[in-house]
Amino acid sequence: MITVAYSLVAYRVTGLSPATCEHCLAAVKLELIQVPGVVGVDVDPAEARVSILTDGPVDEGRVRAAMEAAGCGVVDA
């Protein structure tokens, strides 16, 4: 039997708005999907939110660095 635990984490971000172009949205997804452990990415520009699905532990620093490389900043709560 194989068991995989998935986790969904949402981030409020800067740099996204309803006017964000498809190219920029794709860039965010591309940067994040390359982070080891990230298996899915959803970008919601209307809510300025990025959600990532992981299949195990993920380095938070690498997630933030990937978002910054794509032009987004994480809003700390």
pLDDT in tens, 27-73: 999 999 999 999 999 999 999 999 999 998 899 999 999 999 999 99
Of 43, 38, 41, the C-alpha closest to 25 is 43
- CA–CA gap between residue 73 and residue 5 (Å, rounded): 27
Q: Which helix (H) or strand (E) holds 13?
A: strand 7-14
Q: Which helix (H) or strand (E) holds 9?
A: strand 7-14
Of 49, 55, 5, the C-alpha closest to 35 is 55
- CA–CA gap between residue 16 and residue 7 (Å, rounded): 23
For the cut 60, the answer to whether the pLDDT of residue 77 exceeds it is: no
